[in-house]
Amino acid sequence: MCGLVLLVGEKSQGLISECTERLRHRGPDSTSISIGNGVSLGFQRLSINGDAVQGHQPFEEQGWSAVVNGEVYNYLDLITRYELPKSGCDTSVMLPLFLLMKEDVIDELDGFYAAAILNPERTEAFCFRDLIGKKPLFVGSFKGTVFITSELKALPEADWFKALPKGVSKVDLISGKFELLKEHHQESTDTPLNEALIESVLKRLPADDQPLGVFLSGGLDSSIIASITSRFREDAHYFILGNKDSSDSVAAQTVVDYLDLKNVSYVPLPHEHEIPQLVSETVYATESYNPSVISNGLSTFLLAKAARKAGIRVALTGEGADELFGGYHQFSEKEPWQETRKQLINDMQFTELRRLDLSCMASSIEPRCPFLDRKVRAYSNQLDYCQLYNTKTNKVALRQSFSDYLPDEILHRQKTSCDVGSGVRGMVVRYLHQNGRSEREELLEIWNTHFNFESTNNYFHSYPVFDAAIDVRGESHR
């Protein structure tokens, strides 16, 4: 919902305005720049909670400064419990809580966030990322300037960079070196899955006077989110990507009819001649030349553009269910399903969540993912093989928990990725293959027109679990 960039060094003051401007899409409502002690800090705000004064960043207290990108759902409880200054801005609790309990603050926060808190001497930054790594945050340097940023495109180049780890890290602002101070602890829960997910959806609903979007593909995950949302927000606006005969559109229409949804927008596929420009825009938005990130990213990019045009700022999505509840593979119990599931979850910050966040924020849309709630994840971590997979299907626990929320044809629909179900992948694959080269080769050439980084860095191209399949995929490979 916001973008931040911090620069340290002699050249930082001359660069900060340009670097901050490159993140305007993440927060078009206001721009703030703070300069002092050799540190330049830029912030772009997308206003969702709190007025312009309450939400102005950086937050300042006792010489410390903080910039926070994200959402803290339990901020009112934290204000009461710890007697913090009253505020309508959820992220304003981060700095005073940090001053009370230092890195243990992450044990108290319920939400998604990436934040940097600077000490008064401006020699160190304490950086925070949420449990799943939903919001991006990088550290690196170029030509003697150390940086911390929400997106790499804020920088003209980099000698090196790394994604900051989930949890709390301390960054030396002279060298850029960092150490992990505290990791998130794994939680457990006794709450049934349907109760946990309903609670998760409710806490992610914006205020009643703010419009709400839901991205609906007709797949199990997004349909569950749509079904729950429809029970609490009659005014929610549902967005469906694909022409009328696409498999996703047909399935989504079944959900629309079953739930009697009223406010629905059908987002048509682009024309073939529009694909080159749209692919280029998606490469820039996602900072990637991985074919899967691009074709699925374009699907998200189109939905986000339509939502923004309709006046939406917050959209609910079904991301996270595949990784947590066993949606990608049909394993036998003898296969290494636990290791694969763990890697998929750990990689999300660089794969599906990176695709979601950057594709949505390119249109200033804040995507919220109820399946990634702390309590929902805790429930999923307690599932055994038979609750994830059986001989006929997967997502066993998820399908059982919401059996009365959806029609059978949706409840038992097999996974089809959004780019395939909408028809976007076919358009992208045909375009990228027209010169007889691989998708990666074509995408790398496009990527090089946008970025001046070292392209071999895994961040720009890797999807570890699926890369082998991606490189031989066709227009409809699932």
Catalytic residue among 2, 19, 89, 418: 2
pTM above 0.85, yes or no: yes
Number of domains within the chain: 2
* Binding positions for L-glutamine: 90
* DSSP output for 175-230: T--EEEEEPPPP----S-HHHHHHHHHHHH---TTS-EEEE--SSHHHHHHHHHHH
Give the domain range for residue 38. Answer: 2-182
Q: Is residue 141 part of a domain?
A: yes
**Claim to verify: residue 50 and residue 94 sit in the same structural domain:** yes
- Give the CATH number for residue 77: 3.60.20.10
Annotated binding site: 90
My answer on whether 143 and 202 are in the same domain is no
Regarding whether 313 and 231 lie in a shared domain, the answer is yes
Give the up-direction half-sphere exposure of residue 270: CA atoms within 13 A in the CB hemisphere: 23
3-class DSSP assignment, residue 82: coil
Distance CA 427, CA 197 (A): 35
The answer to whether residues 88 and 204 belong to one domain is: no
Residue 295, token pair as written in the block? 């074709």
Based on the residue annotation, tell me whether 2 is a catalytic residue of this protein: yes
- Are 247 and 381 contained in the same domain? yes
Domain endpoint, select from 128, 155, 182: 182
In the numeric block, which tokens belong to residue 386?
A: 């038979």
Same domain, 197 and 143: no
Reported as type and span, the H/E element at residue 112 is: strand 111-118
pLDDT tens digit at each of 478 positions of the chain = 699 999 999 999 999 999 999 999 999 999 999 999 899 999 999 988 765 566 688 999 999 999 999 999 999 999 999 999 888 889 999 999 999 999 999 999 999 999 999 999 999 999 999 999 999 999 999 999 999 999 999 999 999 999 999 999 999 999 999 999 999 998 889 999 999 999 999 999 998 889 999 999 999 999 999 999 999 999 999 999 999 999 999 999 999 999 999 999 999 999 999 999 999 999 999 999 999 999 999 999 999 999 999 999 999 999 999 999 999 876 777 888 899 999 999 999 999 999 999 999 999 999 999 999 999 999 999 999 999 987 678 999 999 999 999 999 999 998 899 999 999 999 999 999 999 999 999 999 999 999 999 999 999 999 999 999 999 998 765 5
